Amino acid sequence: MAAFNEYCTNHKKSEYFYHSYHLGKLIYYTQEIILEDESLCLIIRPKIAAKRAFRLFEDLRAQEVTPEELLNIRDRFLTLPVLEERGFLLQ
């Protein structure tokens, strides 16, 4: 968000542009970004109690992610070695 704000400032974009431009809205509503090898997973929260997840590929294709797929993606970041390294497992 800071980078987009800096872009708007450097290019003398109006406050309206910052809040109405599609990229600005996407950044504003993105709650979480998970960086995978082949894509980004964006978790968007457009309103309270609503959440949608999308996978964004290098060629800018977007694919909606099901709740089950999102859980699987998150689980990959909670592997046994990672948990051990962070001290979350009891010996």
Tell me the CA distances in angstroms from 83 to 36, 53, 67, one per residue in order.
18, 25, 23
**Distance (Å, rounded) from C-alpha 57 to C-alpha 26?**
16
**Distance (Å, rounded) from C-alpha 91 to C-alpha 32?**
31
| Report field, pTM of the whole predicted structure over 0.85 | no
In this predicted structure, what is the pLDDT of residue 54? 94
Q: What is the pLDDT of residues 21-71, one digit of tens each?
A: 777 788 788 888 888 888 889 999 988 888 899 999 989 899 999 999 998
**Distance (Å, rounded) from C-alpha 21 to C-alpha 3?**
14
Give the DSSP H or E segment for 56.
strand 52-57
